Amino acid sequence: MHNLLSNLKITINDKLYVKNPETSELGLNILKNSILLIDEIGFDAFTFKKLGERIQSNESSIYRYFENKHKLLVYLTSWYWSWMEYRMAFATINVSNPIEKLEKAIKLVTENIIDDNTTPHINEEVLSRIIVEEFTKTLMTKEVDNENKEGFFLVYKRVINRIIDIIKEVNPNYPYAKSLASSIVEGSLHQHFLKNHLKTITNLSEKECATDFYTDMAKKILL
């Protein structure tokens, strides 16, 4: 398994970067520290200047890798969903029972994430916090439609499509497979956000994850 995970193939739309950050020390440093800095100060306050200072490099050097901070965020979120897609493929490949497959998929997208150590420049635990706090910002722009056409959100949609397929296997007659799948993925992020900030309108407590809520929901709806 460790072997398989280290061959992990993360696919990212090459329109998201000017120069592939995986190909140099500086690039890897940008990835690593942008995750940490966005987590610390939030994406709105994050600037290339601050990142440059942090990694003892220069603002303009970062611009050689990413056109702007929005594309860097879309890059990081694509990385996350690509990693998630891989985990999901891996976890469901040898499972023939559709219900069991659905349970595994729901668990993966709803559980609390911990760093998996296979990628030293990406801390998945911190990255997953960024996904909870900032992911919708990648979609909620006036450029969504153009960026969607360019394929910026393909990986995200692929994760959801995988769940749609499993839902259809479990119950081919359920008429809202797409909405249910996107609800689970986005809704889970939202429940995690609520448990961190608006605790009174979620049942999730401090260290809990959304797995039970969504597993119960899916079973009651589909079975």
Q: How far apart are CA 158 and CA 60, in angstroms?
A: 34
Residue 25 contacts which entry, DNA, a second copy, none (Cβ below 5-8 A, type-dependent):
DNA
Q: How far apart are CA 171 and CA 98, in angstroms?
A: 9
Q: Are 211 and 111 in contact (CB under 8 A)?
A: yes
Window 9-48: contact mask with DNA (x via CB under 7 A): ----------x----xxxx-----------------x-xx
Q: Are 124 and 146 in contact (CB under 8 A)?
A: no
User: Which residue from 3, 56, 175, 206 is in contact with a second copy, where contact means CB under 8 A?
Assistant: 175
Q: How far apart are CA 102 and CA 211, in angstroms?
A: 12
Q: How far apart are CA 80 and CA 131, in angstroms?
A: 8
Q: How far is the CB of 58 from DNA (least distance, A)?
A: 4
User: Which residue from 145, 172, 173, 207 is in contact with a second copy, where contact means CB under 8 A?
Assistant: 145
Decide: helix, strand or coil at residue 46: coil
Return residues touching a second copy (CB under 8 A): 41-42, 44-45, 133-134, 136-137, 139-142, 144-145, 148, 153, 157, 160-161, 164, 175-183, 186-187, 190-191, 193-194, 197-198, 200-204, 210, 212-213, 216-217, 220-221
Return residues touching DNA (CB under 7 A): 19, 24-27, 45, 47-49, 56-61, 63-64, 67-70
